[in-house]
Amino acid sequence: MKIKREFDRLTLLIILLFSVIPLLAIITHNNLIILASFILVILVMIFLRKSVNAKLIQPILDISHKSYLMSSGKLDTEISVASNDELSDLADNINLLAGSLREKIRVLEKSIQREQRVVRELAILNEFIGYVSSELNFEAILRKLIEKTRDLMKSEAGVIILFRPDRTKSFLSTDKLIDEQFIKDMLSVDSGGLARIIAEQKPIRNNNVAIPLSNGNEISNFIALSLHSTTDLQCLLIMLNRDAGFSREDEDSFLNFAFQAFQTISLQSELAKLATTDGLTGLHNHRVFQDRLSEEILRAERYKSKLFLLIIDIDHFKSFNDTYGHQTGDDVLKTMAKIIKECIRKVDFAARYGGEEFVLILPETDCGHTYKVAERIRRAVMDYPFHLKDGTRAGLTVSVGVACFPEDSAEKEDLIGKADKALYFAKDLGRNRACLYRDICEPE
């Protein structure tokens, strides 16, 4: 409305001027007055032109030019019109529109970046799952987890501390300069340290530490997460940087990727366990025993060492099953597995061979120690109180056959056959005893 009033006033002024000049000419017949009037009119027209240009034309051109710049993508352009009229209002509205577009573009760009992060996470996760599905070595899988998490986070180093159900712990690092003591020192800087990370079960990041490395550098930033699985596996996953800090977005990516990756590891571990473990006793199954015996024979050949194979059979177990039922027999087999595991070293290998038979592989030992292990198992079974459902105790015994590599045989199948012959030799002698193959006098 302000511009309209201005034009109305200018129009009225022009009409008055062009009305007055002829009137003066008629009244005065004075050429000088007429000339002066024309000059005045010209000056007024120049003034009007400048006024219209300043108040209308130039603001319109400015709005037009800067609107074009905005439409070309330069939304940071600001239109400035100080006329305090409709053109000023138009400029302000265009500026508001540009600001709104800038905000929407910023939100859209942020959304695109977030989607790109998600796509990248999924691509790395998919690659990791593919690796896990084809890899049986658990340590190799954990190292791959560190590697892929480091790629995702663009971090310089990574660490995993694995806590097993049997309370043992494994430490894996991508950098030889980062050991368990370094991690302890680093976590002690953070309030609450390891206990807080495990308790909170969410990413803990700290971009304000200064833990020196032996090469003169120092770690200034870390992000850590405690991971748990439904299969009682637990680990602490830590990513470290010297310079670049970790952001809130990094926390989200870290949590999403690490959680899904660790659950994949847990599932794969459980599937591998089912595929390699006897479902009743929890010992290794027959297939794993065959593979392990081949590996141990190759190792013994390489290092010129001995290994001993033991086959353990429960005496009269068929009659026991027929008398007391298969459920009671299954309980006995579970107890047998427990007794065997308690009587051997961690480096020894135990498996259920089939039915009521168990096998042991004892690497890097001698005949005397092996015989003591066989006798220890035999006596433990004989003394164990196998209680039946009615409360009575059933007495059970085992017979054990032992063969030695390479003394008794240098071939896997033949070694198994020799241990089996020693077992039946023990049974022929009355059962409830351990016999070495070397004690059997075979005819030539």
Residues involved in catalysis: 356
Q: How many CB atoms lie within 10 A of CB 271?
A: 11
CA 211/CA 154 separation, integer angstroms: 20
Residue that has been written with the tokens 């573009």 in this structure:
105
Sequence-distant (6+) residues with CB within 8 A of 251 are 202, 203, 205, 223
Q: Which 3 state secondary structure label does DSSP give 195?
A: helix
CA 25/CA 313 separation, integer angstroms: 142
Q: Which 3 state secondary structure label does DSSP give 403?
A: strand
Q: Determine the straight-line distance between the first and last CA of the chain, rounded to whole angstroms.
A: 127
| Residue 379 near residue 313 (C-beta atoms within 8 A) | no
User: Which two three-digit tokens encode residue 301?
Assistant: 């050949």
CA 430/CA 411 separation, integer angstroms: 29
Sequence-distant (6+) residues with CB within 8 A of 304 are none
CA 160/CA 225 separation, integer angstroms: 10
Q: Which 3 state secondary structure label does DSSP give 207?
A: coil
Closest by Cα among 53, 236, 210 to 149: 236
Q: Where are the beta strands (DSSP E) in 268-356?
A: 307-314, 349-354
| Residue 160 near residue 146 (C-beta atoms within 8 A) | yes
